[in-house]
Structure 1
């Protein structure tokens, strides 16, 4: 289903309003499961590209989806929509935090961080579905995880090594 520019704007506006502090799981639900703008494989491919680009993944994803369907107009509508509400909320929360900072507020933020981590893990599992029958892709993903999360290697050098390796192995397997 091809969304209109208004569909993109309203979808990403809603996403920006409800998905404060980690919208990737909600973006997946909106774009793939609810609106069917992209299928699982398209979402995974587009997210991979957006993670490689500089900037916020979700902002890149909003721009890429808007661009895919309506060019620059769709990209601008999606980008503006996803940042409008969070920008207003951040300004309001900053004012409140400055005035009322204390242990209760810090505990609340710790709880929110735990919930966001759970949503991120859930989305990672959903995104992994398209590669579940591709052992080479799983191996490369595991190498990335070990390099970044376990060995704590810097992101850019890790990508500089593993992306060409991934491309070469995938190209060879396709032949």
Structure 2
């Protein structure tokens, strides 16, 4: 089948189209993400890395973030270190980490001082409530975007596993460690069996 045929184009995997970022680019990119990241940086991290800079495909982003989700500590901080180290080694991880946490630390220190002085103002409370609603909306939007690779591939098993974990944690309120102890081996086993069949 010719590589430029419609069916071949539909099944061809996405590949990153940009060269690896420099240390400066890592710092600046994650600084911008952290400054835009009201309610969480994940939304802006995916947009910057996958859509804007094209340093990762959507599937690579999902896989890397899933790995970081299973590691101790804040997910986005883990992701920052893994992402930076992937391209520029330990120095890249440190550059991305400093870009992620540096600007917010300065801003939150200033805002903390101001909130201590003016936090009882009713208008400020309403503003914070509105920001929290917007943050929830952004999180829901990025969840759907991260699901798109599974939907495009019609990965019924992957979607079923995703739904099962959501029900177990979100609805049944089962402890996260127990759910992970079940979900991780099942995911690995499914991936192993699929690769054996494809080989």
TM-score w.r.t. structure 2 length?
0.84
- Deviations 1:58-102 (CA, angstroms, capped at 9, x unpaired): 111111111010000100000011100111111112111111122
2:177 aligned with 1:159: no
**RMSD of aligned Cα (Å):** 1.2
Q: Paired residue for 1:8?
A: 26
Q: Paired residue for 2:67?
A: 49
Alpha-carbon distance in structure 2 between the residues aligned to 1:128 and 1:153: 23
Alpha-carbon distance in structure 2 between the residues aligned to 1:49 and 1:170: 14
Farther off after superposition, 106-115 or 35-44: 106-115
2:54 aligned with 1:19: no
Alpha-carbon distance in structure 2 between the residues aligned to 1:137 and 1:113: 30
State the shift of 1:174 in Å: 3.4
Alpha-carbon distance in structure 2 between the residues aligned to 1:94 and 1:16: 17
2:109 aligned with 1:88: no
Which consecutive residues of structure 1, in runs of 5 or more, have no partner in the other structure? none
Instruction: Please say if residues 30 and 96 of structure 2, whose CA atoms lie closer than 8 Å, have aligned partners that are also in contact.
Output: yes
Q: Paired residue for 2:125?
A: 106
TM-score w.r.t. structure 1 length?
0.95
State the shift of 1:166 in Å: 2.1
Structure 1 outlier segments of 4+, above 6 Å: none
Larger radius of gyration, structure 1 or 2? 2
Which consecutive residues of structure 2, in runs of 5 or more, have no partner in the other structure? 1-18
Farther off after superposition, 47-56 or 17-26: 17-26
2:90 aligned with 1:72: yes
More helix by share: 1
Alpha-carbon distance in structure 2 between the residues aligned to 1:173 and 1:42: 18
Tell me how many residue pairs correspond in the alignment: 175
2:136 aligned with 1:117: yes
